[in-house]
Structure 1
């Protein structure tokens, strides 16, 4: 089993500075591995790249996608391709946001909503951690919960 994390371009890149993101993603990867699930991270520099990752069928052979993108930031020229990619996505996805003012990408495709949208204002990594927990439970993986 595998989960692919696709992160969209950010106007505020400071919320995921590379050393913090790498360390936190490593911890998430270890949790997923302990549950018998591969975790792949696909950071995207632009929405064309993001759409390209979603268009892969199936997405890197994933059973689930964790998607970190603010639909309000998608340029008009990229909305239609992103809408098509989400509508064609053949695996479920969970959205992650670190701001309550961010828009779900699933609003672009009402007929193909996300399983859940995780919003942890100001703490992207806590959102990733929560989304991974939900994803592992959804996939039926055995996860040891910390006390």
Structure 2
């Protein structure tokens, strides 16, 4: 699952990129769902709604919400991440966009992928890591 915060139109995930990512996931025997969010409250609610029974891995892209997340810890994203039982990777296209809170209190992502100015490549790398991780977990579970 991709949970994506709002982006400027020029930086948003395109239909072509989403289709490509879904094809990569499908080739690995997985499905990929995009959950766009219009604001911080929606973003936090989506993270809280993730259940490990239906979502094996999450790509978390806060988009333009980073400053709002940092300025409003009471919104609950840190708590939502701490309660999350699903592994996640942060995806960004700008080095100033990471979700580190001021006190560093929330659980850390498996990885943080930042390709300055190239969100598409960030997503492709993050999805590759997620699919590899899921494949390794599947092998370990079968053993």
Aligned residues: CA RMSD: 2.4
Per-residue deviation, 1:8:
1.0
Where does the alignment leave 5 or more consecutive residues of structure 2 unmatched?
A: 139-143
What is the CA distance between 1:106 and its match in structure 2? 6.7
1:13 and 2:9 correspond: yes
SS of 2:32's equivalent? strand
The question of 1:45 aligning with 2:38 is answered yes
2: CA distance between counterparts of 1:128 and 1:82?
21
1:89 equivalent in structure 2: 84
CA distance, structure 2, for counterparts of residue 88 and residue 33 of structure 1: 28
Question: Residues of 2 paired with 1:59 and 1:109: CA distance?
Answer: 24
Task: Tell me the residue number matched to 2:97.
Answer: 102
Aligned residues: 135
Distance change >3 Å, CA 80–CA 45, structure 1 → 2:
closer
- Report the alpha carbon displacement of residue 31 of structure 1 after superposing the two structures with TM: 0.8
1:25 positional shift: 0.4
- CA gap of 1:14–1:33, structure 2 versus 1, over 3 A, is same
* Structure-1 separation of matches of 2:2 and 2:54: 12
User: Contact 2:50–2:86 (CA<8 Å) still a contact in 1?
Assistant: no
Structure 1 residues 53-101: Cα deviation after superposition (integer angstroms, max 9, x where no partner)? 1111406811111000153232744644212111111111000010122
Scaled by the length of structure 2, the TM-score of the pair is 0.82
User: Which structure is higher in strand share?
Assistant: 1
1:38 deviates by: 0.9
Distance in 2 between residues matched to 1:39 and 1:119, nearest whole Å: 20
Q: Note closer, same or farther for the CA distance 1:28–1:99 as it changes in structure 2 (3 Å cut).
A: same
What is residue 32 of structure 1 aligned with on the other side? 25
Q: 1:108 to 1:133 in 2, by over 3 A?
A: farther
Taking the aligned partners of 1:71 and 1:138, their CA distance within structure 2 comes to 26
